[in-house]
Amino acid sequence: MKAATLHASLTRRHFLQAAALGAVAGPPTGRAAEALLTGVPGGKSFAEPARTLPLVNDADVIVCGAGPAGIAAAITAARAGARTRLFEVHGCLGGVWTAGLLTYIFDFNKPGLAREITRRLDERAARRSQNPDRFVYEPEEMKVLVEEMCAAAGVKFQLHTRVAAAFREGSRLSTIVTESKAGREAWSAPVFIDATGDGDLGAQAGCGWDVGQAKDCPCQPLTMNALAVVRDAKALAEFTSFNGTDAFTGPGGHLTCVEAFKRELKRAGVETSYGHPTLFPVRENLVMLMLNHEYGIKPWDAAAITEATVRARAEVFRVMRALRQLGGRWEGVQIAATAEQIGIRDGRRIHGRYTMGRQDLITGARHADAVARVTFGVDIHADSRTRNDVETISHGDLKMRPYDIPLRALIAKGVDGLLMAGRCISGDFISHASYRVTGNAVAMGEAAGVVAALAAKSGRPPHAVGWSEGTAKLTQMGQRG
């Protein structure tokens, strides 16, 4: 029996047990509660009583997770005519762009939404470069922009709401359960998109998945980003990457700035856990700091993520205090914000109808159902402090050629009615280390959104929708230019 079906039948059994105890319609009270709590022998597990939940069935497409992939999927599905709901656990839309304080976008020179977001950021003077492919942006402006775009498209989005469970009818994903201050609520739809980054929905629905280099990780490290107010960012130009040039090497290039910043940190008497400590130029008086690596953390281990978050935040403050004590151009520097969500690079990669692999990168794979062409190389951050001291970032020991992501890598294998977009699509460790950056996440979200809308509106599963239909619809919507 598959996981989700098993879960459903177990839940039914618990429901009947609970009903017999009179506990279905609300929280158990008095003797019923006592009976339930003492009913589990050994005290090592708790048989949660089933409850009857309110069920909402008003959407054609439900998108779970509102990072770059999720907002792109929801906006596109809604613009394509689908009644679209979007659920996000944090208090803002944008995922790593906003709650993660990323501030730097890679691989963005693509048609459609990427170009539109670039233009809209420029209209707000919230982008720091003329380069359409990679640039610094202001995270607070991004928050407002994506809210406005979702609202204008007619997306019904709900913040502070976690997708907690998924249920299938046969092989078709039919219903999800969310948890929020409103309690547990059930939502059904013909098509769902997993844009949770960590593949929560695919795993809940019973899909197979991989993570990191092997089932039990090791995974890429986590990183806590932070914004710092400075008196004059120009005075820090020598340490600030992507400040007038997007080059990685050479005078003024990223790695030159990193080396200069490391010398400055040494002068301040501190060392960072990330071997490439980086300053990004956000505004005249605002920089983003990427200083930290947290090793050996599994992306579903909430206790370990909590410890990593506390450790990382302390490191960011320790480094800032040390720099401030240098005085001069560091005088008055202070943390303005640390990320609400520590950045998680590696999550579950849900098995799809095609699995991207290192060979795709070596051959520069081309596909008839290509939804995006990846130009960003392999970026593997060290998985331990020891490794970080030898080689902070490696590139997979291969020469990458720009390659395609096929629509099939976005369609779940074995579970119907489920698409993936962003970090959690189907791929191996090496290809994920390349396609995961946010330009590709947006392109994937767009593709998943339009295919989901076409599938839902025509009563077909996503795998029955040809990508030529998807591109035709995007062209009609003006999302190909």
Ligand X SMILES: Cc1cc2nc3c(=O)[nH]c(=O)nc-3n(C[C@H](O)[C@H](O)[C@H](O)COP(=O)(O)OP(=O)(O)OC[C@H]3O[C@@H](n4cnc5c(N)ncnc54)[C@H](O)[C@@H]3O)c2cc1C
Q: How far is CA 212 from CA 204, 359, 382, 383, in A?
A: 19, 18, 12, 10
In angstroms, the CA 447 to CA 468 distance is: 11
Residue 99, burial from CB neighbour count under 10 angstroms (0-12, 13-18, 19+): buried
What CA–CA distance (Å, rounded) separates 274 from 294?
Answer: 8
CB 46 within 8 A of CB 119: no
10 Å CB burial of residue 263 (0-12, 13-18, 19+) is exposed
Q: Per CB under 6 A, which region of 8-16, 23-31, 83-91, 265-273 contacts ligand X?
A: 83-91
Helices (H), 327-420: 358-363, 385-390
Q: Coil, strand, or helix at residue 356?
A: strand
Can residue 257 be called a binding residue for ligand X (CB under 6 A)? Answer: no
Quick one: 191 or 443, whose CB is closer to ligand X?
A: 443
Is 77 an interacting residue with respect to ligand X (CB under 6 A)? no
Q: Is 104 in the site for ligand X (CB under 6 A)?
A: yes
Q: Is 434 one of the binding residues for ligand X (CB under 6 A)?
A: no
Residue burial 325-353, b: 16+ Cβ < 10 Å; e: rest: eeeebbeebebeebbebbbbbbbbbbbbb
Determine if 423 is a binding residue for ligand X (CB under 6 A).
Answer: yes
106-125 residues in contact with ligand X (CB under 6 A) are: 106
By CB under 6 A, is residue 438 in contact with ligand X? yes
Segment interacting with ligand X, rule: CB under 6 A, options 94-102, 117-125, 389-397, 399-407: 94-102
295 binds ligand X (CB under 6 A): no
How many binding residues for ligand X (CB under 6 A)? 35
For the chain, percent helix, then strand, then coil, each to nearest 5? 40, 20, 40
> Quick check: 96 binds ligand X (CB under 6 A)?
yes
Among 49, 95, 112, 462, binds ligand X (CB under 6 A): 95
The torsion defined by the Cα of 165, 225, 438 and 445, in degrees rounded to 10, comes to 20
Query: Minimal distance in Å, beta carbon 458 to ligand X?
Result: 26
Shorter beta-carbon distance to ligand X: residue 167 or 330? 167
Residues 304 to 363 in contact with ligand X, rule: CB under 6 A: 343-345
Question: How many other C-beta atoms lie within 10 A of the C-beta of residue 37?
Answer: 12
433 binds ligand X (CB under 6 A): no
Q: For ligand X, which residue of 113, 312, 441, 455 counts as binding (CB under 6 A)?
A: 441
Q: For ligand X, which stretch binds (CB under 6 A), given 150-158, 192-200, 238-246, 452-460?
A: 192-200
Q: Which H helix or E strand runs over 420?
A: strand 418-420
Among 139, 197, 406, 449, binds ligand X (CB under 6 A): 197
> Using CB under 6 A, which of 4, 50, 61, 68 touches ligand X?
68
The one-character DSSP state at 273 is S
Among 195, 380, 430, 455, binds ligand X (CB under 6 A): 195
Site map 35..64 versus ligand X, x via CB under 6 A: -----------------------------x
DSSP assignment string, 118-182: HHHHHHTT-B--S-SSSEEB-HHHHHHHHHHHHHHHT-EEESS-EEEEEEEETTEEEEEEEEETT
28 vs 218, beta carbon nearer ligand X: 218
CB of 280 to ligand X, least distance (A): 8
Provide the mask over 141-160, with x wherever binding to ligand X is found by CB under 6 A and - wherever it is not: --------------------
Least separation, in Å, of the C-beta of 328 and ligand X?
29
Tokens of 30: 């008095």
Distance CA 450, CA 79 (A): 9
**Could you tell me if 257 and 238 are in contact, meaning their C-beta atoms sit under 8 angstroms apart?**
yes
In this complex, which beta carbon is closest to ligand X, that of residue 36 or of residue 431?
A: 431
d(CA 258, CA 250): 12
- Least CB distance from residue 94 to ligand X, whole Å? 7
Segment near ligand X (CB under 6 A), from 3-11, 234-242, 299-307, 430-438? 430-438
Among 175, 196, 278, 338, binds ligand X (CB under 6 A): 196
- Residue 200 contacts ligand X per CB under 6 A: yes
Instruction: For Cα atoms 410, 411, 416, give the angle at the middle one, nearest 5 degrees.
Output: 155
Q: Does 437 bind ligand X (CB under 6 A)?
A: yes
Q: Which is nearer to ligand X, 198 or 416 (CB)?
A: 198
Task: Give the pairing type, strands 225-229 and 286-290.
Answer: antiparallel
Give the residue with the Cβ less far from ligand X, 69 or 265.
69
Residues forming contacts to ligand X in the complex (CB under 6 A) are: 64-70, 87-90, 95-96, 99, 102, 104-106, 162-163, 195-198, 200, 223, 343-345, 422-423, 436-438, 441
